[in-house]
Amino acid sequence: MSAAPPIYLDYAATTPVDPRVAAAMAGCLTLEGDFGNASSTHAFGRAAAARIERARSQVAGLIGAGAGEIVFTSGATESNNLAILGVARANADRGRHLVTARTEHKAVLDPCKRLEKEGFSVTYLTPDASGIVTPTAVAAALRPGTQLVSLMGVNNEIGVVQDIGAIGALCRERGVAFHSDCAQAAGKLPLDVAALPVDFLSFTAHKLYGPKGVGALYVRESARGLLQPVTFGGGQEHGLRPGTLATHQIVGFGAACEIAAAELPAEGARLSALRDRLWSLLGMLGGVHLNGAGAPRVPGILNVSFEGVEGESLVGALKELAVSTGAACNSASAEASYVLRALGRDALLAGCSLRLSLGRSTRAAEVDAAAAAITREVTRLRALSPASGVAQVLELASQGEAGTVVSGEAGGPSEETWVRFHLLIEGDTVKDARVQAFGCPHTLDVAGWLCQELRGRTRAALPPGRPADWAASRSVPVEKLGRLLVIEDALRECLLQWP
């Protein structure tokens, strides 16, 4: 019998396509459907164009825009690039300064860094401890040459909601264009650009149960003259984003937006209740920090940091859950979340955070099961840590066997690796061994394996091999070899304590 699939709690990374959306897309793929090129003037092209324009109205309706203010793109990343690079380059003669925040998505930060190489200057604001960028901080950063402010509506890691209304009003008062990355806000919070003073707004289909590969940039009619394209050829989308329009994806995007708009009030309340239930269960562990506490947060995202646990080991142990340690675009990196570091979390605490994001299919039973699994693994990993005390020394000493316990450790509580060995020795031989370790899964694996290798060895045969040998035997990546040196140092400390 196959194992049950993991509980999916990574909706902030991507959502499954809603079956109703998939059905709408299927009608634009085959010869019997509306598959034509919307640029063509024959019947197939006209049918595809009509489907696209209906979808454009559906997408616009989600955020209160006019259909003519929607520019289709490949996703929020492209939308962000078009807004930031397009505005900056088009208006360089009026100013070469931009304002953003250190906690923005890389799809905003990287275009800003590109502009710095082109001679622009960028002010990167630091949020307060809850993740909020205040209008006062934005006002202080503005100067005569500022032409664009780009601040996200909802942070993709911690779910904090920024006051883009107040910030937009400030920008409008100062004559500065305002862009907001709303990939995590659209379809999850009410957005009405008729009331919000936002000039450019980015969002994407795959965060709201639509297909990957399609998104939109809202361009306020009065701000269109501020924007120039960053790609060329074909003239589609008002000349701002050329290329043959992907009819099936756009139709799916439209259907997803229409569904999200209809279901938003009830779904928002349901997800808020589930998120709060999950936090109340995890909070019982103690030593757990809610990231974004004290700030308004989007219903479906809960980001928590756990004291005394290494993040990679925690995520690796949660086989029954599909969760993230941060933004999906950074999940392959071993570095601590730059968002949490910007909030003042130290590297260890930031490195041991989970982003638990809930969605349309999440139920209370799954929340309870997730909380139980996380509680189990946090408790287990904390018990393995040297910070848990000397319980293993007492365990060895109480076995009733003759011998002496010697201990040796390396690393420490403020470092990414901390290892402590306890050896039960008699004469010149190791009779038994225990280890306490804080570190990545490879650290824990090698340390546990060495406990087996140590038993029965003489003092002269320690350590059993070298870190490079252990790495080869246990398939440890070369970038983790430095952590095995800490294990070796702990064993050598045991030798120094040997009577």
Residue numbers annotated as active site: 329
d(CA 34, CA 45) in angstroms, rounded, equals 8
Helix residue spans in 39-197 (DSSP H): 43-63, 76-90, 106-117, 135-141, 164-174
* SS3 of residue 359 by DSSP: coil
In 359-417, beta strands by DSSP E: 404-411
For tokens 């006209």, name the residue: 46
For tokens 């076995």, name the residue: 399
Report strand pairing: 215-219 vs 301-306.
Answer: unpaired
Beta bridge partners of 411: 418
Report strand pairing: 215-219 vs 70-73.
Answer: antiparallel
- Angle at which helices 467-474 and 441-454 cross, to 10°: 110
Q: Would you say the C-alpha torsion 129, 134, 140, 144 has a positive or negative sign?
A: positive
> b/e for 73-112, b at 16 or more Cβ within 10 A?
bbbbbbbbbbbbbbbbebbeeebbbbbbbebbbebbbebb
Report strand pairing: 177-181 vs 200-204.
Answer: parallel
- Burial (CB count within 10 angstroms: exposed 0-12, middle 13-18, buried 19+), residue 1: exposed
d(CA 120, CA 107) in angstroms, rounded, equals 17
d(CA 63, CA 79) in angstroms, rounded, equals 15
Bond into 463 cis (ω within 30): yes
